[in-house]
Amino acid sequence: MREARLAAARDVYLQSLSHRVAQHWLRPPDVSPDLTCVVQVQQTKTGEVIAAKVVRGSGNAVFDRSVEAAVLKASPLPAPPDPELFDPTLNVIFHADDLSS
């Protein structure tokens, strides 16, 4: 019961994090749709981003810079709905695929 509630809360948390970062992601136009970049984020209990580092680059410096900037600008990150979900380290995975609009 608690586990199910936690799993649901976790989904909500991930969505709010994704939304918050996406709002600050100024995506570069005309990049290849298969680019992926992973940024490791260190955050404080209050959601302040203290570090953001590309741990798996896309090979496109402009794309990588844009996603790193997105995470830094998204600070402070939203708090989890359940404090148990807090994690000081987040991996944010950016996909370039939805760039056609």
List interacting residues with another protein (CB under 8 A): 10, 13-14, 17-18, 21-23, 25-30, 40, 60-62, 65-70, 72-73, 84-85, 87-95, 97-99, 101
Residue 8 or 93: the one with the smaller Cβ distance to another protein is 93
Report the C-alpha gap between 15 and 29 in whole angstroms.
Answer: 24
What DSSP designation does 31 have?
-
CB of 93 to another protein, least distance (A): 5
Q: How far apart are the first and last CA of the chain?
A: 41
CA 73 to chain centre: 11
State the nearest-atom distance from the C-beta of 99 to another protein, in Å: 8
- Rounded CA-CA distance 56/88 in Å is 19
CB of 25 to another protein, least distance (A): 3
